Amino acid sequence: MQAFTTDKLRNVVSLSHTGAGKTTLGEALLFVTGAVSRPGRIDDGSTTSDYEPEAVKRRSSIQMALPPPAWRTATR
């Protein structure tokens, strides 16, 4: 993982009710920044942030996850 100094870090919060698209947005950000080669799908159980078996079974996040996309450092 690439190291960054604190002046290059930005924190963003994704906060809303269940089913609003937070996981889908996180997957899109990871894809656009090149962190993943294709976005995962909730229905397929292939999202990056929902890796616990119970979350995959429920098709809903059951814990907070922090996907770390790096903007403008991707090589694709």
CA-closest candidate to residue 71, choices 40, 30, 42: 30
* Confidence (pLDDT) at 73: 59
E-assigned strand segments in the chain? none
Question: Is the confidence at residue 76, as pLDDT, over 60?
Answer: no
SS3 7: helix
What gap in Å lies between CA 45 and CA 52, rounded to an integer? Answer: 10
Question: What is residue 15's three-state secondary structure?
Answer: coil
What's the pLDDT band for 74 if we cut at 50, 70, 90? Answer: very low
Q: What is the pLDDT of residues 15-56, one digit of tens each?
A: 888 888 888 898 898 898 888 899 988 888 888 888 888 888
Q: What is the pTM of this model?
A: 0.75
> Which tokens is 37 given?
């080669």
Domain ranges for the chain: 23-62
Which tens digits make up the pLDDT trace of 53-72? 888 888 888 887 777 777 77
